[in-house]
Amino acid sequence: MAVGPALWLSPLLLVSLCGSSAPASLLRRLGAHVRRVQESSVLRLSLDPGTTTLPKEGWLEQPLDPFNASDRRSFLQRYWINDQHWAGQDGPIFLHLGGEGSLGPGSVMRGHPAALAPALGALVLGLEHRFYGLSIPAGGLSMTQLRFLSSRHALADVASARLALSRLLNVSASSPWVCFGGSYAGSLAAWARLKFPHLLFAAVASSAPVRAVLDFSAYNEVVSRSLTSAAVGGSPECRAAVSAAFAEVGRRLRAGGAARKALRAELGACTPLGRPEDREELLEALQALVGGAVQYDGQTGAPLSVRQLCGLLLEGKGNGSHLAPYRGLRRAVQVVLHSLGQRCLSVSRAETLAQLRVTEPQVSRVGDRQWLYQTCTEFGFYVTCQGPRCPFSQLPALPSQLELCEKVFGLSTSSMVQAVTQTNSYYGGQTPGATQVLFVNGDADPWHVLSVTQALGPSVSALLIPSASHCSDMAPESPSDTPSLRQGRQSIFQQLQTWLRLAKRSPLRGGL
């Protein structure tokens, strides 16, 4: 059915095109904020008179348990359609997969893959992930329900939706289907081609962490490296300033008393810092702030770029004050809180646990409980700070992160270790074995180390874009885009042209 402009501007629909793929709540909120701003700009453009046709919203009835034919329960899964550039029944179908958050109309309107549709005559579809956004089954988010939330269930939905939408839209059997996704959804796009090559002709996987890992200390190693990169506005001095700022935070935390009380006021923490677990929450939030500046560097909606963060940390350095980096970090916190519309920095572990234990779907649609469950049962991805290359305090350590899985879901560390091993075994890790997949990454993005950055053969290509951040190739084009990002998008377009020429000659085109 068509969607009216009043509903379009609802905050529930201004949501993620490419998820943050991290359990840290501040980093997830930074990612959601970036996508919200980008989608808002898309909607403003689309609501201008005479510019474009608004996409249609639809719902598919999907089995709750696709692996048990005797279970008749179902749920409604939301999808979006943009058919304004479709060349007709034989034209290609671009299926944009949602990840760990809501998927809004912008997923089929601007940015990749929608921006590629006009030149290639493609129909663009967006499919929201089960248990996120408005595609949450009846019954809430209890453990009984969450056992139907996994990447394997999501892939079964992709296959089912592919068949149902082919019939519903009267798509020709000769039309090639190409899957797109970013971050976790990028992994889903590659895995969908791996598991259903007869249904999907090719896939573009952007910033896709296809290797599961429990201890993701490599995240902060890339953050450290990016902070020194002149190409994104970093420098060795900036990286040293980050270390100095965190050392000062650690010193004040250890000092206790008045020093700790002043630290709370200066950093805008919502609650006192008396408990060790709350001090860990503070350090995790500050790490997420710096990591987020790297992860979303240069993107519309990002509160801070690497260049801006470094500017704040190095301001006043010439005065010789050893407190200059700490003051810069304080200002960075203020900038981010203002951008996110938060009055203070949440640091209460008890509040975090209470929020994650809520089994009713949350109005914010951020999906923290659902994504934590997926990290606990499939992926890990716990960002830690181990080794000399990490610019932050050594806290929080991995055990405090794994504790969330135990306290929220009753899951043991051994079960998580086994889950990560099983995920890599089932999908193949960084050698997934799929064909006709293009992996796209930015070398400034901390997640690229879990993706595929070198071609695995003639039919599995990899594009590593210099100085690009997380899913930046999928974002709407901007005048500030670097030449390397523009060239990266052109390379994606050329790969699609090659695939679609191949599809015309192939007897199997991802059709029925």
Domains present along the chain, CATH in parentheses: 54-211+430-505 (3.40.50.1820), 216-422 (1.20.120.980)
Q: Which residue is catalytic, options 368, 445, 473, 481?
A: 445
Q: Which residue is catalytic, options 85, 96, 112, 470?
A: 470
User: Max alpha carbon distance in the chain (Å)?
Assistant: 74
DSSP 378: I
For 66, 159, 235, 237, 259, the CA distances from 177, given in Å and listed in that order, are 22, 11, 44, 48, 60
CA distance 390 to 384: 9
The helix or strand, by DSSP H or E, that contains position 407, with its residue range, turns out to be helix 398-409
Residue 512's pLDDT is 38
Asked if residue 97 lies in contact with residue 116, where contact means CB atoms within 8 angstroms, the answer is: no
Residue 399's pLDDT is 87
Q: What is the DSSP annotation of 480-499? A: T--HHHHHHHHHHHHHHHHH
Nearest Cα residue to 285 out of 216, 235, 223, 336: 336
First to last CA, the chain: 26
CA atoms within 13 A on the CB side of 227: 29
257 contact partners, CB below 8 Å, separation of at least 6: none
Q: What angle do CA 93, 95, 98 make, to 5 degrees?
A: 170
Known catalytic residue at 215:
no
Asked if residue 349 lies in contact with residue 272, where contact means CB atoms within 8 angstroms, the answer is: no
CA atoms within 13 A on the CB side of 96: 32
Q: Which residue is catalytic, options 16, 21, 175, 183?
A: 183
E-strand stretches of 218-327: none
Q: Is 314 exposed, middle or buried (0-12, 13-18, 19+ CB in 10 A)?
A: middle
Residue 398's pLDDT is 87
CA distance 129 to 200: 18
CA distance 46 to 466: 31
Q: Is 388 exposed, middle or buried (0-12, 13-18, 19+ CB in 10 A)?
A: exposed
218 contact partners, CB below 8 Å, separation of at least 6: 446, 449, 450
Asked if residue 370 lies in contact with residue 129, where contact means CB atoms within 8 angstroms, the answer is: no
The helix or strand, by DSSP H or E, that contains position 463, with its residue range, turns out to be strand 460-465
Give me the tens of pLDDT residue by residue for the chain, a chain 512 residues long: 333 322 232 222 233 445 544 434 788 888 888 887 877 765 555 554 455 578 999 999 999 999 999 999 999 999 999 999 998 878 999 999 999 999 989 899 988 999 999 999 999 999 999 999 999 999 999 999 999 999 999 999 999 999 999 999 999 999 999 999 999 999 999 999 999 999 999 999 999 999 999 999 999 999 999 999 999 999 999 999 999 999 999 999 999 999 999 999 999 999 999 999 999 999 999 999 999 999 999 898 899 999 999 999 999 776 667 789 999 999 999 999 999 888 999 999 999 999 999 999 875 557 999 999 999 999 999 999 877 778 887 766 788 889 999 999 999 999 999 999 999 999 999 999 999 999 999 999 999 999 999 998 888 999 999 999 999 999 989 888 999 999 999 999 999 999 999 998 875 555 43
